[in-house]
Amino acid sequence: MLEASNNNELPIIPGKRYFTIGEVSDLCGVKPHVLRYWEQEFPQLKPVKRRGNRRYYQRHDVLMIRQIRSLLYEHGFTIGGARQKLADGDGKDIDNNGAVLREMINDLEEVLEILSR
């Protein structure tokens, strides 16, 4: 499990449309039972449920989970405080810029590699 100070070391989100709860757990450094709990606490977090009640998260869900994780583990918010921050829209860009920038760099490097072939 990643320590609270290691949010910048989370893996880059692959270019997939749907992610299983196990994949999201690995991408966000949070255990699956915590993700299921956060679904109850944060109305913004709504994964698609398919056959057998299996959860499938989309990219925006993964980004939201990383945002929630940052608010709770790095900025010291309570569940209620983080919920309010996200509802007000104030927490939208906290620590997200670095992750987005790293993903863009990775994507550009992949395009450069493809073009150089």
Q: Are 69 and 28 in contact (CB under 8 A)?
A: yes
User: pLDDT digit of tens for each residue in the chain (117 aa)?
Assistant: 344 444 567 888 888 899 999 999 999 999 999 999 999 999 989 999 988 889 999 999 999 999 999 999 999 999 999 999 988 875 455 555 566 677 778 888 888 888 988
Confidence at residue 106, expressed as pLDDT on a 0 to 100 scale: 80
Res 98: pLDDT = 62
How far is 85 from 95, CA to CA, in rounded Å? 14
pLDDT of residue 32: 95
Question: Domain total for the chain?
Answer: 1
Q: Which domain holds residue 24?
A: 4-116
Can you give the CATH number for the domain in which 91 is found? 1.10.1660.10
Q: Identify the pLDDT of residue 94.
A: 52
Give me 21's structure tokens. Answer: 């709860």
Q: Provide the pLDDT for residue 42.
A: 93
